[in-house]
Amino acid sequence: MKVAAIVGSIRKESYNLKLARYIQNRYQHLFQLDVLNIRDLPYYDQDVESAPPQPVIDFKGQVAAADAVLWVTPEYNSTIPGVMANAIDWLSRGDRVMIGKPSWIVGSSMGLLGSVKAQGHLRDILFASGISSPLLPGNEVYIGLVHEKLNEKGELINEITIKYLDFVANNFMLWMKELSQLKQLESQK
Ligand code: FNR
């Protein structure tokens, strides 16, 4: 199974990027996680959306080819970062590649609450008509004080967090299986 990761931070040492890489490595027996490049996306511009620049075409193609999307979000000023909102705006227009594609959200911040406000907003946005993504119910992952929970190699070192992430990754797989069984039943009608 192919999962596309959209990380809401473009800085090299991003904790959320490290978290995405950790998930990629730890659950490689469950799914193939590809971390997508959103750094090269221009600002969303309705004037060019019918013939978008190449980075947009590539990005949307990668999302379209994935079975699901993992959103890995920091929190900026109590919401999602602009780079993530920009990526979502591109995805929501034209061929609207997110419609019906399952999503899973995780996030971290250096504060105590681990991106809880950003994730609340992101959930609402994923239900907007141009995105309409079914979201893994429950299983919310808020990693606060992330700078104390990742070592210099980018590995999680907090046992409770690791166990919880294992539990959620497993639930994500079960949910994906249920969704595909439902799809199969629908197609037999
Ligand atoms: C932050 N940070 C932050 N943290 C938080 O818990 N709630 C918030 O509202 C904000 N707001 C905020 C705004 C801006 C502009 C910046 C740059 C930072 C701190 C944030 O959690 C921290 O910088 C993380 O390290 C950002 O994630 P990455 O880049 O490490 O993935």
Residue type, 86: N
pTM of the model: 0.97
Distance CA 103, CA 92 (A): 14
Q: Does ligand 1 come within 6 angstroms of the Cβ of 52?
A: no
- The answer on pLDDT for 189 being more than 90 is no
| Res 25: pLDDT | 98
Q: How many CB atoms lie within 10 A of CB 60?
A: 21
Q: Measured from the CA of 17, which atom of ligand 1 is nearest?
A: 31
Contacts of 20 (CB under 8 A, 6+ apart): 5, 7, 33, 35, 70, 72
Q: Is the distance from the beta carbon of residue 75 to the nearest atom of ligand 1 less than 6 Å? A: yes
Structural domains of the chain ordered from first start:
2-187 (3.40.50.360)
Span 41-55, pLDDT tens digits: 999 999 999 999 999
Specify the DSSP element, H or E, that contains 109: none
Ligand 1 centroid distance, CA of 80 (Å): 10
Mean pLDDT of 30-46: 98
Q: Is 177 in the pocket of ligand 1 (CB under 6 A)?
A: no
For a ligand 1 pocket test, name from 110, 122, 148, 150 the mutation site with the most ligand atoms within 8 angstroms of its C-beta: 110
Q: What is the mean pLDDT of the chain?
A: 97
| Residue 12: pLDDT over 90 | yes
Q: Distance (Å, rounded) from C-alpha 169 to C-alpha 88?
A: 23
DSSP class of residue 51 equals S
Atom 16, ligand 1: residue with shortest CA distance: 76
Question: At residue 23, does pLDDT exceed 90?
Answer: yes
Are residues 140 and 107 in contact, defined by beta-carbon separation less than 8 angstroms?
A: no
| Mutate-to-test residue for ligand 1 from 79, 109, 119, 122, highest number of ligand atoms within 8 A of CB | 109
pLDDT in tens, 110-124: 999 999 999 999 999
Distance CA 159, CA 178 (A): 29
DSSP summary character for residue 135: B
Residue 115 CA to residue 118 CA, distance in Å, equals 5
